[in-house]
Structure 1
Amino acid sequence: MLRDLRSSRRGLSSAEARRHLVQYGRNELERRHGRRWPRELARQLTHPLALLLWLAAALLFAVGSHVVAAAVVLIILLNAGFAFVQEVQAERAVEALAQYLPQRAKAVRDGVRVEVDAAELVPGDIVVIEEGDRIAADVRLLAGAIEVDMSALTGESVPTLRSAAILDVDVPVLRAHDLVFSGTNCTGGEAHGVVFATGMATELGRIAALSQRVKQEPSPLELQVRRVAWLIAAVSVALALAFIPLAVSGAGLSLVQSVIFAAGLLAGMVPEGLLPVITLALAVAVRALATRGALVKRLSAVETLGSTDVICTDKTGTLTENRMRPVAAWTAAGPTDLDTREHTGSVPQPAPALQAAARTAAACNNARLQPDAEATGDPTEVAVLLAAQTLGADPDADRREAVRRWQFHFDPELKMMSTIDQHGDDLVIHTKGAPEAVLPHCTTLLDENGQPSALDDAARARITAQVDAYASDGLRVLALAQRTLAKERRPPHRRADAEHDLCFVALIALLDPPRPEVAEAVAHCRTAGIRIIVITGDHPLTAAAIARRVGITGPHPRVVTGDEFDRMHEHEVDELVRAEGDIIFARASPEAKLHIAEALRGQGHVVAMTGDGVNDAPALHRADIGVAMGRSGTDVAREAATMILTDDNFASIVDAVRDGRRIYDNVRKFIIYIFAHATPEVTPFLVFALTGGAVPLPLTILQILAFDVGSETLPALALSRENAEPGLMRRPPRPRSEGVIRTRMLLRAWLFLGLLVAALQMGGFFYVLTRSGWHPGDATGPGTPLHHAYQQATTMAFLGMIAGQIGTAFAVRTQRASLRSIGALSNHYLLTAIAGEIALVAVFVYTPPFQSLLGTAPLPASTMLLLLPYPFIVWGADELRRYLIRRHTRPAPAQNGVAGRL
């Protein structure tokens, strides 16, 4: 196959790789662009609010009001188009986040192992596959053996063995033991192979070509908004139907005129811009989080972040820098300080026990140290390899692999890794892992002279005491062990046959300092009512020391070890996580993470769970927000997660929660803003009907439509960019069951802000009309002396509604805080939107085409000046209302680090 692909075991040269890329194309699956747009557009045309407008348009066409009906249809199409464009842009924004974190593959180019973008793999590339990797192309193995999760292709949930040593003929492709396929995941082992198919030529590409079905689930927020939309639809239809007999009997209108006005009432009740504005707000939040190191893969996750009340976090890399360095080694001869030595040098004439420790640390390792380049591999293994180099061992990866005969990859359940290596004429098993996991497999101890001696209870107690001493200082501790195999025996290929009767060699202590920004982030979580639970595979004392140092726990947390957790019944786990005390789960297995996530969710908590390993995927799936590590995490974990941290930093999770709360608040702000327009739009129709037509209609249907589409949308969009209010992270989390739209929001919108604007609007209308000599019942139709005054009065009502809505926009910027606390002019987007709104209104009022279409007329300057205080009256009244609420609402005293709601 290598000859057919014009390749060799040294891989392709860079020039050959470029030629193959031109010949075979990029390693990507092709998508049928545009296949979803008809369905998406149809969905925008048939949501409940659009259906209401379709009903209004049909009524208008039926009674012969074709111009107004055409305007309503235009509104439907414009809103549907706007929402469709926003959803497409939002989808593209989420897809574009993949560019921040492209899938990487390890390939051999120009004889050197490098990381390349998986999309640039070509047939003929020699690739290296390790535990946790997502396989990016179809590969024939040349050396090594791995376990592969083939469920993406075959549906089989049990990993299967794939080995270069097993050659199959006359079997289906998917059953060939020397082949692995794109889209599958390596769950264990390490192997080298040659790529023979990429892109649509892979087995995954063949399946993708047969069926490309993508179904997006609506977010909980969208479901809530749709439920409210149906409620609005029901209320609107009921009001419109009630208006018809009222207008016929009370105002003396004809049935046709009543139907026209009922259709206008429907148009006034419909918040057309609600859905597109929500979609855009979530998309903006996703982009903002991406710039701060948190890649959210679904728009719906943004709102979930805002209600997160428990964060289950790992320690290594999340709370700490994940830049481990060796600080000490301990053998039977005593401790050796490694922290003050140069890693490029070695210990002169090391003791025999240290020499054995160095050999074991270098052999049982998959990291690589490269001159003048950053080390590659797991940070723990890099630190262990640095310790081996410091103690005089050869760290070269190629020479290490040349003598390796077998490997038992690190097992998170066993907490050990072993290799079988050729050492001179002997085969030697080298093992490293957690001390409490390695020690039970040891029967001897390498003494200070490098000779095995009995590992009695006193020696075990001495080793355990040293482990505890290191761990209590916040150091991570690994144990090293070895065993020389009998020469007449074949190398064992089962762990149980290899990892027994080991000789304990040494302890290696590693320092991984806490991230400096984590303590502040933890403090924000405590004041925000967010509980933090540490779940780590590290030593209990190490985990407790780090958690105490960053402020997650007090001096005496409850530490639950993996063995203790495994003995617990489900109800005991429930009781344990229900307690509000400080809890740390140490030496925890991935299965423990899953059980903890299920227990917390069962109690109604919204859980964010971090993870980076292959076996963390179930817990990441089960949590409300699965958080994978972008740097140290495996491809499997990143696939399972909802959010990916590009910097592996706990503080980024807290930033994401803060942004989730902020955007949820902003959604509520522009919902109030949009709903507040319903009262001033409905009031003119009610005044007209209740006065029996003695008062002419203060606002025309086309003016309402112009307001809804032309002047309302831009400020609503700007409100989605509002900064966080003071005290945002001092509130308790929002309950999972709490809807985005609450009764008090509707009361504020309809009965407070809406009534204020309606009163100002109607006051302006009557002022202009009565100043011209109008009396109730006077004719104001075309051709009458008062017709021009009537047009000016409706223009005043139209402008009064807009001026009031400007005040509403400023009023809703905060829920309880004063506007001064966030800065009256701090939202530049809102200022720009209002400027654009004013310019658009000037076009509506002063250009002849719109004057004839909307029925507007220019107003004298003295009348226009009356509009200036309108925004300040609306904003000032709401500012007073918020002041009174703050004055009479005292924050609850903080308990367990949680402040009361502001």
Structure 2
Amino acid sequence: MTPTRTRRHRRHPPVGEDEPGPAPPAAGVDAPLERLWHELRSGPEGLDERDAARRLQVQGPNALPVRGGPSWPRALAHQLVHPLALLLWAAAGLALVAGTPVLAAAVVIVIALNAALAFWQEQHAERAVAALEAYLPAGARVLRGGVAREVPASEIVTGDVVLLAEGAAVPADGRLVAGTVELDMSALTGESIPAPRRAGPHPPGPVLEAPDLVFRGTTCTSGSARAVVTGTGAHTEIGRIAALTGHVGHHESPLEQQVRRVAWLITAVAVGVGAAFLPIGLAAGLSFSAALVFAIGLLVANVPEGLLPTITLALAAGVRSLARHGAVVRRLSAVETLGSTTVICTDKTGTLTENRMSPQAFWAPATGRGDPTRDAGAAPALARVAQRCSDADLPDPARGRGSGDPTELALLALAAAAGLDTRAEARSRRRVALHAFDPVLRLMSTVDETPDGPAVHTKGAVEAVLARCTRLRRAAGAVPLGADERDEVLAVAEGLAAEGLRVLALATRPATAADARAPRADVEAGLVLEGLVGLFDRPRDSVAPAITRCHAAGISVHVVTGDHPATAGAVARAVGIGADGLRVVTGVELAALRDDDLDALLGAGDEIVFARVAPEDKLRIVEALEHLGEVVAVTGDGVNDAPALRRADIGIAMGASGTDVAREAATMVLTDDDFATIERAVAAGRRVYDDVRKFVVYIFAHAVPEVVPFLLFALSGGSIPLGLTVLQILAIDLGTETLPALALGREPAEPGLMDRPPRPRSEGLVRPRMLWRAWGLLGITSAVLTTGAFLLVLLRAGWTPGAPTGPGSALHPAYLEATTATFVGIVACQIGTAFAARTEHASLRSVGLGTNPLLWWGIAFEVLVTAAVVYLPVGQQVVGTAPLDAPTVALLLCCAPLVWGVDELDRWRRRRSPTTPDRRTT
């Protein structure tokens, strides 16, 4: 929404009371700058550390107020009305109609307990996702005592001097005191066109339109400037809007939507089966009450109570696991999408390489090639451009990286080797004008005062700088730049790029007074080429193995970079991209391709290096890949990468070197900027999705042995007594099944996880093979074993079909033992199913018995609950069980290895089969 504009010179009570008021602008924000400094008790060099600490204690952190009451009542109520809970409510109603209030009360208790467990798990998942913000603390560059340093945005106070640069988020409301920037103010005004802001006198007019004010929640799209902070936290424009904004509702991920559809399917099946078999029971001679109990049993047996919360918790656990490995995922849905990624479009600098530039070589037309560590003094004009045309800060060459862009730090190292002053404050005092780096022009220029008079200093891509040069510097002075000289420069640049170096051209010219305010195109014209600098950015050691694993997983990797084609191609080959064929396409060639030609190029199967491309070209590449049906992950770090990051299935921003704009647009943020982290994230996404399927198989498998006793009872007209009571089913589904299912959600990756092709986009959560395995293999095996145990106990006591087994009959004690044997047998089959479900293809031995300790704890809990239900008098009275003798228990314990063994043999058969549907290749 567009906020109402506030009047200045007014004081307002703090936001957070009954009615939020407009943000109070600082007193005197429209006053002359000298008066503003006086009122804020600050100055151009910012605050000192002690003063800033005192103000932070008084003003509080620079954070938006949290409004609104707790949302837990709504979340808890939601757990009582989801499809599976509604099914249980229907079962409780049927129990009342059947005249069994004890059963109805038991079902209601199960609903309440399951809702409480699901609520706890959902809250745990929400806290896990919310805690991820700690992995990416928002920071800002401020002047403290005249020294630039990074501080958390929450520690900024009024009077701080903030350094704004392209891609940075404005951390607080303030007034510009130096420089010019363009701001994306769409969060405040809804306008998508960047608004120019320039330091100068404050004119009258609306606050949001003031040309010298900046606001929290906006982002700097170009330029650089300094601003003094006039408002923090709730006392900002965005703070006022936040106070008026309600909470944001939860958006289900595609996986959660699939699971909800599965829940409705289960509901429909359960209701349909119960309704269909109710007349069958009546026709077989059952009373209406007995037939209703039979229908209730079918309903309860078909409800996997823990399905929805278990999936939510598994996704949240996957998100936390990714964060610990350097990948902060902002949405649960990203975990699912990562597992089906088919193409990765990656940047080069900082992702494939270490982003630690060092000057490796330079070339000057006057002196030829030189070594920056030994010969920097031989090209003084080249070193002066490297010194002036920079926004980085390397106060002491011995300290290492300093702060700022790695490319500029490397150029400053060249200047320092030539003995020049590289301090940022010394540069800024002599700077007259700045034209920040433009990723489309691939240039940066400054106008500076020098001992020889004002001069323009320009650096950028070789082709871009060379196109704006008319002369080059020889030993005798500047000479015209003809065709032969251009060919010479380009040949040198090609040679340096072929060595894997990033090549920059540096140029200069004398400036005039008009250049201080002249358009950029006029400033960057008529330049004198001073030479070239080759910077080396070593490939990360972890990238080549990660690329190999991506190829094994059926994932293609394309490089999209603004770097030189030869440099980008050399780095790509060094890390293994394009091992089966690498194509290099320049931005000029890409622009000449029609959309269908680009589709054909990307669909040919070769991995491609797109070099010298503009950021908007990345969006076109992503759109073409998605048009071909690919699931695309794309990396980016700049402001202009935001459209591609938003459009991609998985937008991946750089956390260490990326801009705030890119991080906000991305689905995932790499805290270490390492490509290997992307590969690990894809593997984690596949693992989480596989784990979801594992406990779906585990939960579905138990429906068959729970339903079969009711079917035998109904189809025999009561001649075969009911082999399992409804209360025993509830004890299984709620007491013994839940923890092992949760443990399967934390199962480690199955061997060969990254050796199979990506999951098709159209593939649903539940596949026919899973249903066959759960219901047809594991379920039927468990039903045969448990039904056999039930009949064996009855026959051993002398039972014959139709003999009475109700209370007061001679066979009633034996009947209680028989139903208890069914109950214990299902629990034993659950244990076997849990071990079988740990892998879908591989053998259990390849996974290892002890690699999931949570499963062992879950099984231990399962055994303890079963023992309590069978042997404690309270459990016997509530659930209707009887103690079992040792031979019967020993026999039932054999169910676990038998169920697991049947599934292990089936997986062994499928592994030996030359072609199986689950092992298809691309």
TM-score under structure 2 length normalisation: 0.94
> How much has 1:555 moved relative to structure 2?
8.3
Which residue, 611, 614, 635 being the options, matches 1:610?
635
SS in 2 for 1:295: strand
Distance 1:889 1:490, change over 3 A: closer
SS in 1 for 2:504: strand
Confirm or deny: 8 A CA contact 1:403 1:423 kept in the other structure. Answer: yes
User: Match for residue 318 of structure 2?
Assistant: 285
Q: In structure 2, what is the Cα distance between the partners aligned to 1:39 and 1:601?
A: 38
Q: What aligned pairs does 1:523-602 form with structure 2 within 5 A after superposition?
A: 523-554=548-579, 557-602=582-627
Q: In structure 2, what is the Cα distance between the partners aligned to 1:77 and 1:419?
A: 69
User: Match for residue 303 of structure 2?
Assistant: 270
Counterpart check, 1:397 vs 2:430: no
User: Match for residue 483 of structure 2?
Assistant: 457
Counterpart check, 1:778 vs 2:803: yes
Q: Deviations over 1:276-295 (max 9, x none)?
A: 11111111111111111111
User: Match for residue 217 of structure 2?
Assistant: 183
Counterpart check, 1:865 vs 2:900: no
Counterpart check, 1:408 vs 2:442: no
Q: Deviations over 1:775-824 (max 9, x none)?
A: 11111111222111111111100000000111011111111211111113
SS in 2 for 1:453: strand
Q: In structure 2, what is the Cα distance between the partners aligned to 1:331 and 1:785?
A: 108
Which residue, 190, 206, 218 being the options, matches 2:240?
206
User: Match for residue 61 of structure 1?
Assistant: 96
Which residue, 772, 779, 784 being the options, matches 1:747?
772
Q: What aligned pairs does 1:726-805 form with structure 2 within 5 A after superposition?
A: 726-805=751-830
Q: Deviations over 1:216-235 (max 9, x none)?
A: 32111111111111111111
Q: In structure 1, what is the Cα distance between the partners aligned to 2:685 and 2:480?
A: 59
> How much has 1:900 moved relative to structure 2?
5.7
User: Match for residue 357 of structure 1?
Assistant: 382
Amino acid at match of 1:304: T
User: Match for residue 30 of structure 2?
Assistant: none
User: Match for residue 224 of structure 1?
Assistant: 258
> How much has 1:34 moved relative to structure 2?
4.3
Amino acid at match of 1:188: S
Distance 1:339 1:497, change over 3 A: closer
Q: In structure 2, what is the Cα distance between the partners aligned to 1:497 and 1:85?
A: 64
Q: Sequence identity, in percent?
A: 55
Confirm or deny: 8 A CA contact 2:183 2:219 kept in the other structure. Answer: yes
User: Match for residue 896 of structure 1?
Assistant: none
> How much has 1:490 moved relative to structure 2?
5.2
> How much has 1:166 moved relative to structure 2?
4.8
Amino acid at match of 2:303: V
User: Match for residue 330 of structure 2?
Assistant: 297
Confirm or deny: 8 A CA contact 1:522 1:551 kept in the other structure. Answer: yes
> How much has 1:9 moved relative to structure 2?
2.0
Confirm or deny: 8 A CA contact 1:891 1:901 kept in the other structure. Answer: no
User: Match for residue 28 of structure 2?
Assistant: none
SS in 1 for 2:860: helix
SS in 1 for 2:554: coil
User: Match for residue 503 of structure 2?
Assistant: 477
Confirm or deny: 8 A CA contact 2:395 2:422 kept in the other structure. Answer: no
Distance 1:800 1:490, change over 3 A: closer
Confirm or deny: 8 A CA contact 1:427 1:485 kept in the other structure. Answer: yes
User: Match for residue 895 of structure 1?
Assistant: none
Amino acid at match of 1:182: R
> How much has 1:546 moved relative to structure 2?
0.5
Q: In structure 1, what is the Cα distance between the partners aligned to 2:472 and 2:228?
A: 43
Q: In structure 2, what is the Cα distance between the partners aligned to 1:254 and 1:691?
A: 14
Confirm or deny: 8 A CA contact 1:670 1:720 kept in the other structure. Answer: yes
SS in 1 for 2:864: helix
Q: In structure 2, what is the Cα distance between the partners aligned to 1:111 and 1:355?
A: 29
User: Match for residue 464 of structure 2?
Assistant: 437
Distance 1:837 1:556, change over 3 A: closer
Distance 1:82 1:339, change over 3 A: farther
Confirm or deny: 8 A CA contact 1:29 1:208 kept in the other structure. Answer: yes
Q: In structure 2, what is the Cα distance between the partners aligned to 1:59 and 1:556?
A: 67
User: Match for residue 84 of structure 1?
Assistant: 119
Confirm or deny: 8 A CA contact 1:548 1:555 kept in the other structure. Answer: no
Q: In structure 1, what is the Cα distance between the partners aligned to 2:280 and 2:602?
A: 60
Q: In structure 2, what is the Cα distance between the partners aligned to 1:153 and 1:338?
A: 51
Superposition RMSD in Å? 1.7
User: Match for residue 446 of structure 1?
Assistant: 473
Amino acid at match of 2:508: Q
Q: In structure 1, what is the Cα distance between the partners aligned to 2:146 and 2:388?
A: 22
Confirm or deny: 8 A CA contact 1:355 1:393 kept in the other structure. Answer: no
User: Match for residue 404 of structure 2?
Assistant: 377
Q: Deviations over 1:703-743 (max 9, x none)?
A: 00010011001111111111111111110111000001111
- 63-72 or 142-151: bigger deviation: 63-72
> How much has 1:58 moved relative to structure 2?
1.6
Amino acid at match of 2:434: Q
> How much has 1:244 moved relative to structure 2?
1.2
Confirm or deny: 8 A CA contact 1:101 1:630 kept in the other structure. Answer: yes
Counterpart check, 1:138 vs 2:148: no
Q: In structure 1, what is the Cα distance between the partners aligned to 2:850 and 2:98?
A: 48
Amino acid at match of 1:139: G
Q: In structure 1, what is the Cα distance between the partners aligned to 2:69 and 2:873?
A: 41
Q: In structure 1, what is the Cα distance between the partners aligned to 2:235 and 2:331?
A: 29
User: Match for residue 531 of structure 2?
Assistant: 506
> How much has 1:201 moved relative to structure 2?
1.1
TM-score under structure 1 length normalisation: 0.96
SS in 1 for 2:777: helix
Q: What aligned pairs does 1:146-165 form with structure 2 within 5 A after superposition?
A: 146-165=181-200
User: Match for residue 350 of structure 2?
Assistant: 317
> How much has 1:63 moved relative to structure 2?
2.7
Confirm or deny: 8 A CA contact 2:68 2:247 kept in the other structure. Answer: no
Q: In structure 2, what is the Cα distance between the partners aligned to 1:602 and 1:779?
A: 68
Confirm or deny: 8 A CA contact 2:580 2:606 kept in the other structure. Answer: no
Q: In structure 2, what is the Cα distance between the partners aligned to 1:563 and 1:388?
A: 33
Amino acid at match of 2:314: A
User: Match for residue 338 of structure 1?
Assistant: 371
Q: Deviations over 1:484-505 (max 9, x none)?
A: 1235x45233111111111111
Confirm or deny: 8 A CA contact 2:700 2:774 kept in the other structure. Answer: yes
Q: In structure 1, what is the Cα distance between the partners aligned to 2:271 and 2:594?
A: 55
Which residue, 619, 622, 630 being the options, matches 2:644?
619
- 575-584 or 495-504: bigger deviation: 575-584
User: Match for residue 235 of structure 1?
Assistant: 269
Q: In structure 1, what is the Cα distance between the partners aligned to 2:68 and 2:548?
A: 47
Amino acid at match of 2:470: T
Distance 1:767 1:58, change over 3 A: same
Gaps of 5+ in 2: 1-35
Amino acid at match of 2:467: P
Counterpart check, 1:27 vs 2:62: yes
Q: In structure 1, what is the Cα distance between the partners aligned to 2:767 and 2:372?
A: 59
User: Match for residue 659 of structure 1?
Assistant: 684
Distance 1:741 1:146, change over 3 A: same
Distance 1:138 1:570, change over 3 A: same
Confirm or deny: 8 A CA contact 2:650 2:667 kept in the other structure. Answer: yes
Amino acid at match of 2:480: A
Amino acid at match of 1:615: N
Confirm or deny: 8 A CA contact 1:166 1:177 kept in the other structure. Answer: no
Which residue, 439, 445, 449 being the options, matches 1:422?
449
Q: In structure 1, what is the Cα distance between the partners aligned to 2:516 and 2:235?
A: 39
Distance 1:900 1:685, change over 3 A: closer
Amino acid at match of 1:145: T
SS in 2 for 1:199: coil
SS in 1 for 2:882: coil
